[in-house]
Amino acid sequence: MPEPVVKRQCTIFRLIWLGTRRAGLRTLAVVLLAVLALQGVCLAQKPWPLWEAYSHAFIDGQGRVIDHSAQDRTTSEGQAYALFFALVAGDRARFDKIFSWTEQNLGDGDLTQRLPAWSWGKRPDGSWGVTDQNPASDADLWMAYALSEAGRLWHVPQYQKTGTALAARIAQQEVAYIPGLGTSLLPGPKGFHPEAALWLLNPSYLPPPLLQYFSSAMPTGPWEAVGQSLDPLLAQGSSNRYAMDWVAAGQQGIHPSVTPAQLAAADSQSLPVGSYDAIRVYLWLGISYPHTPAMKLCLSHVSGMADYMKNHLTPPERVDAAGRVIGLSGPPGFSAALIPYLHAAGASKQAKEQLDRLNSTKSASTGLYGKDAAYYDQNLTLFATGWLEQRYRFDRDSRLQVVWK
């Protein structure tokens, strides 16, 4: 229900209340119930200031999410996250625009027939369009989830159909059986199996809520097995109980890895780290339904971060495979991402410290966080504070619970 309509109806009920002050008790009781019910609607329609500020700064009138820190490019990840945030906000108008732009520009006009290209921006010849056709499975998962749940919550069959089609295509093109690990999610269809016995995986591409959701919604698919692969990826790929950005798996075992590009370049100076990708591992674990299978075990595999935060006020920006902090001061988004994780780890005092640090970076003029209002920081903060403010939760089957429904 649009906010102006809610305000008008609240006013009407207040007038009814005043006009029935001298009525009988039964009429009075009915009016009271109506007023209380509408108060609940008013609360449910409470605006989400950060989503509005984010939309103003990063989403154009067509529904394209623009990363100004990366030559104004757009990624399937940004579009997928924005779909989720719009759904949490109950912002149907923006959701429709974001989906339409995504389908037309990243999905060749039909996302039931293909996975979205991951990168769109300015090409070398000066034109604008897709710059990399290879999909990114984390974006694909979030997009499939947001569309499936939008279809359910808004009663839009086409959204649910598209989300289901995307999930089926992810299972077909981006899931593989890996010796020594089992069935897991590749970061994309191409470029992550550089050797016959080696696969490169990104643990942050496996959000437990989404894997649990598709495991329940599509029980004949590979999703339960994919979800089970996160445990060994974190247990063996997280050195010293810190999540790593990249993990290698195959017949030689599971261990921290450098990025696919660094591996391809045989860059001997590069070492595995936990940083801008790995921070999402903590975030996803924190926002998950508490009794998701193996959740406590997964949290224990990355408990190094919770231990570190007991004695530090700022999250590390980078941690190497030996557990050494090599980048001391993570950006504000890192603090945001750790808030749900620290709550899940029973470290409420440290969670409050990170919230205080995050809030100290908020701009009064823009409503955004951090000195540079970085795009990635805002995305992490929307996930974290949206959860903290109870704007959304996942139920046992990871269906989305929102305040406006």
Angle at 81 between CA 90 and CA 178, to 5 degrees: 135
Residues making up the chain, counted from first to last: 405
* Alpha-carbon span 62 to 104, nearest angstrom: 11
* Alpha-carbon span 247 to 142, nearest angstrom: 21
- Residue given tokens 């290209």 in the structure block: 117
Instruction: Write down the catalytic residue from 67, 91, 138, 140.
Output: 138
Among candidate residues 267, 273, 310, 145, the one with its CA nearest the CA of residue 211: 145
Question: Is 77 designated active site?
Answer: yes
- Residue given tokens 């890192």 in the structure block: 334
What are 394's strand-pairing partners? 400
End-to-end Cα spacing for the chain: 10
Q: Is residue 249 within 8 Å of residue 194, measured between CB atoms?
A: no
Distances, alpha carbon 238 to alpha carbons 188, 268, 310, 397, in Å: 21, 20, 20, 27
Among candidate residues 130, 161, 133, the one with its CA nearest the CA of residue 147: 161
Which residues are annotated as catalytic? 77, 138
